[in-house]
Amino acid sequence: MPITKEIRDSDSLVIAITGFRNKLNLPVNEFFEQASLTSASKIVVIDPSFRVGLSGIPPEYPTFFDIIEYLRNQIAEIPHKQLIVTGTSAGAHSAILFGHLLEADQVVSFAPYTYLNRSKMSELKDPSLQTMSRVIDGLELLDDRVKSYFDLMNVVATWNGKTKYYIHVSKYHDWDRRRANYLKGVDSLKVIEHPFSEHSVASRLAKFNRLAQCFEFPYQHKITMKDLYLHLKNSSDGYSTHLHKMIKLILGKGWKAKKAFIKYFKTQS
């Protein structure tokens, strides 16, 4: 089934849109477990066509607008106080788009492709122009009404008055960071950079028991000793220079804090 639902006795309704591998970086059930969302009502959208729902999911949902209409009807029927829309990778583009159109309370997006149009990719010299050439060719065949949603800046630049957007991205994945920051400055949208280098930022957050924090609102980005270690490990800066920068972030900023961090860094290396 392209769209599945599970209704629980919960104040939260979560709509999740998977990426190209029909996962949320992690297998769907594992994602919900790691995100502490198993008790929430949920709707999962899976589009195997590599068109992130923009061409519909035939035969049940012939067009993109049929998917949106179905989801609106479900939102009206399923009891909830909080609507969250989430997605990873290509599904993260859909999460932002769907969340905006459905007026979700929160959108939690992991490493989104914030534009899908060939012209914008060419303008920004995005390597996806080559690595996703077949996907882009397919998207270019879609209806002009849908193409207006390719560039998310055109979508979220005018705030819907309700949705708060949280974009989580790996700080050391250069193009993921660039794509996320393409939307930086939009009202009620926050880009959170984590000290990883992988595209699959949700799975990395899960590994370090951080995924559930992404669904605690308002989201607070907490810096721990582990974060400082990962910043050093993934950064291409010189060791001593970056160490000095990281030490400044440690509360206390004295020799005890410095020694504690160096000791921690050595135990993790």
Range of the domain at 14: 3-221
Looking at residue 109, its pLDDT comes to 98
Q: How far apart are CA 3 and CA 46, in angstroms?
A: 6
Sign of CA dihedral 107, 111, 112, 114: positive
In this structure, the answer to whether residues 208 and 228 fall within a common structural domain is no
Instruction: For residue 71, give the nearest of 5, 117, 141 by alpha carbon.
Output: 5
In this structure, the answer to whether residues 127 and 257 fall within a common structural domain is no
Q: What CATH number does residue 148 fall under?
A: 3.40.50.1820
In this structure, the answer to whether residues 214 and 233 fall within a common structural domain is no
| First-to-last C-alpha distance (Å) of the chain | 45
Q: How far apart are CA 234 and CA 241, in angstroms?
A: 14
In this structure, the answer to whether residues 201 and 135 fall within a common structural domain is yes
Evaluate if residue 226 carries a pLDDT over 80: no
Contact 7, 75 (CB under 8 A): no
Q: How far apart are CA 167 and CA 95, in angstroms?
A: 10
In this structure, the answer to whether residues 135 and 71 fall within a common structural domain is yes
Evaluate if residue 167 carries a pLDDT over 90: yes
In this structure, the answer to whether residues 144 and 16 fall within a common structural domain is yes
Confidence of residue 221 (pLDDT cuts 50, 70, 90): confident
pTM over 0.85: yes
In 10 A of CB 103, how many CB atoms?
14
The single-letter DSSP state of residue 162 is S
> How many domains in the chain?
2
Looking at residue 266, its pLDDT comes to 55
Per-residue pLDDT tens digits for 229-238: 666 666 655 5
More confident residue, 109 or 223: 109
Per-residue pLDDT tens digits for 90-100: 999 999 999 99
Looking at residue 69, its pLDDT comes to 98
Q: How far apart are CA 223 and CA 194, in angstroms?
A: 10
In this structure, the answer to whether residues 185 and 250 fall within a common structural domain is no
